[in-house]
Structure 1
Amino acid sequence: MTSNGKRSKHIWSKVEDAKLVEALLYLVETGWRSDNGTFRPGYLQHLERILHEKVPGCTLNQNTIECKVRSLKKQYNIVSEMLSQSGFDWNEEFKCVQVEREIFDLWVLSHPNAKRMWNKPFPHYDDFSTVFGKDRVVGKSSEDPYVMATNAFREFEDEIRLGSQDCQTPEVRQTESPLNQDEIDEEPAEQSTGRASVPAKSSRGSKRKRPSF
């Protein structure tokens, strides 16, 4: 606990990560996961007990474990969604999503939660396919990712120009604005879009080979 009374964030070790994955797989195998993909009440207590047994000196509590499980599930969904697009591949050597940087940057415009997943290893993805969801299907997207990314970028530019619920510029009020009247009446200069060019589609990297269960 820190000096201001807040609990310090627990930094998970690789051993704790690995044992948590093993424990989650064990719960799935022993019927703790429901048909809708969620775990039955009481699963956190079992995870806590297993981790305390498997990890020497483990002090993890159920709240910390629950936060970690939610974070892992969120990352799994992000990775799974990217890999469902035909232009995204899995790098088996580095255990991360493989995609050209330009396409990733454009993808992030419409999927901001994925911005930290660039070249980020996610070593237990195969196990999480069992824990959190169905195996992914690569290459089933009906729209080319280059087209999707370009359209998303154009939509983002349109939102800036026209104003949307998230990007709308608030109405200037005389009593609240620090600008003088000349600045308010001045017609805004045309903004450069700085649109990134989409490179020619390159050959895809080697796909991940799904291990047999």
Structure 2
Amino acid sequence: MDSGATSESCFAKARKSDKTRRSWTEREEECLIQALKEATTQGWKSGNGFRPGYLAFLENHLKVSFPDSNLRGNPHINSKVHVWKKLYGSIVTILSKSGVGWNDTEKTIEASNEIWESLIKVDNTARSMRHKRWMYYHDWCEIFGNDRAVGDKAEHFAAAVQVVLTMTPELPNNVGMSLDELFSVDEGGAESTSVSLTPSS
């Protein structure tokens, strides 16, 4: 009797979780890409992502093309954007490695077997990214490109400040606190503050 109740409970949980999952058509994805680009040009982007309210903007944009669709800002669009941004970050990180290239005709990442094996040792998700066609990569660059530094170009903010202080010894520290105290960041947080060390004008 208990096993029957457990099975029924698991089935109910599975049905509940299925409500947040949705298969996207290619046309829906293309419309979402266009909506994200429009959101970017209309000022919905902030320094590290999109401003609050952008999901409603995207939902309304998609309703024009799909008036009878059940697509919602939460959870459908939010989940899709999150997955795309994560994939974009992974691609950028892989492409930043020596010996890795981009095939713009096939829309694939190219590297030798030895390099792929070394990438997989560092990050096992690289295993599933080989031989796949990333049709939206250039679109993702346009949409997510300026969100934050990724891969080898990203550095913890405190470490970046330490480099600046080392390079400019005449810069005094009159605060009376160590750099660790000034720039303490929770390493277990979802996103740590980072800064790109590329030279600016």
Q: TM-score range with shorter-chain normalisation? A: 0.5 to 0.7
The offset of 1:125, in angstroms, is: 0.9
Q: How does 1:1-213 map to 2 (within 5 A)?
A: 4=12, 5-8=15-18, 9-34=21-46, 36-55=47-66, 57-62=68-73, 63-134=75-146
Q: Which has the higher strand share?
A: 2
Shift of 1:56: 5.3
Residue of structure 1 equivalent to 2:7:
none
Aligned to 1:90, what secondary structure does the other structure show?
A: strand
- Residues 23 and 51 of structure 1 are in contact (CA less than 8 Å); yes or no, is this contact kept in structure 2? yes
Tell me, in whole angstroms, the C-alpha distance in 1 between the residues paired with 2:50 and 2:69: 23
Determine the structure 1 residue equivalent to 2:164. none
- Aligned-partner residue type, residue 26 of structure 1: E
Task: Decide which structure has the larger Cα Rg and report it.
Answer: 1
Percent identical among aligned pairs is: 31
Aligned residue for 2:109, secondary structure, equals strand
Q: In terms of mean alpha carbon deviation, does 52-61 or 101-110 score higher? A: 52-61
TM score, norm. by length of structure 1:
0.58
Aligned to 2:4: none
- Displacement of 1:3 in angstroms is 5.5
Which deviates further from its counterpart, 20-29 or 78-87?
78-87
Following the alignment from structure 2 to structure 1, what is the Cα–Cα distance between the partners of residues 63 and 11?
A: 27
Q: Which amino acid aligns with 1:57?
A: D
CA contact (8 A) 1:37 1:133 kept: no
* Inter-partner Cα distance in structure 2 for 1:67 and 1:10: 10
Q: Distance in 2 between matches of 1:22 and 1:77?
A: 20
Identify which range, 51-60 or 72-81, moves more after superposition. 51-60
Instruction: Note if contact 1:33-1:39 (Cα within 8 Å) is conserved in structure 2.
Output: yes
2:68 is paired with a residue whose SS is: coil
Post-superposition offset of 1:90: 0.8
Query: In the TM superposition, what is the alpha-carbon distance from 1:43 to its structure 2 partner?
Result: 0.4
C-alpha deviation, 1:96, in angstroms: 1.4
Alignment partners' CA distance in 1, 2:131 and 2:139? 19
Give the drift of 1:93: 1.7
Is the Cα contact below 8 Å between 1:95 and 1:123 reproduced in 2?
A: yes
RMSD: 2.3
Q: CA deviation at 1:116?
A: 1.4
Extract unaligned runs of 5+ from structure 1.
135-139, 142-213
With CA pairs under 8 Å and 6+ residues apart, which has the higher RCO, 1 or 2? 1
1:100 Cα deviation from its structure 2 partner: 1.6
